[in-house]
Amino acid sequence: MSVEFQLVSHPNHSKNILAIDVIQKIDDEVVVETVQRKAGEAYAILGIDGLPKERLEDVLRDILDASYHQIQEPNATLTVTMSPNSTTSGEVRGVVQIQGTNTTTSIPVNYQHYYVLNALRETMSKELKKTWQKVTAIYRNKTLELAFDY
């Protein structure tokens, strides 16, 4: 097991720390806990503040597409799951599965995955008046599917 920390600072003010990614490597699994200093504070800096669900999905698709290209496997499915632990933190996991196999490989994720998935969760909660506890994004061949769990 190993633990690393990555500070997420404001792009124009490096001493203004907005969040911390706690990257845990347990056996062959990578689990990232993103802890915000203040709930939603980085949304504006990331350009996602107030975006509707459709635009948030576009942003997420771009982030997942960049991760997908690093995999370099055309028959892969990338699944990223975010589970909030509080209003200012959440756990994010990413796994890749090659079609036709039952094997999954954990991949690194970061604060960008957390923030966009959390913004989607908050948007859907407001729209549907439900509290979602987990968001799963499934990405393959430029196609994005979302699942929201109670």
Task: Give residue-wise pLDDT tens across range 5-63.
Answer: 999 998 889 999 999 999 999 888 999 999 999 998 899 989 999 999 999 999 999 99
Alpha-carbon distance 146 to 150, whole Å?
A: 13
- Tell me how far apart the alpha carbons of residues 126 and 53 are, in angstroms, rounded to a whole number: 11
Element (H, E) at 84: strand 76-86
Six-digit token pair at 16? 């203004």
CA distances from 104 to 29, 40, 67 (A): 10, 32, 15
pTM for this model (two decimals): 0.91
* Of the candidates 59, 76, 37, the residue with the CA atom closest to the CA atom of residue 123: 59
Question: Which domains are present in the chain?
Answer: 39-149 (3.30.500)
Mind listing the pLDDT tens digit for each residue in 93-129?
A: 999 999 888 889 999 899 999 999 999 999 988 888 8
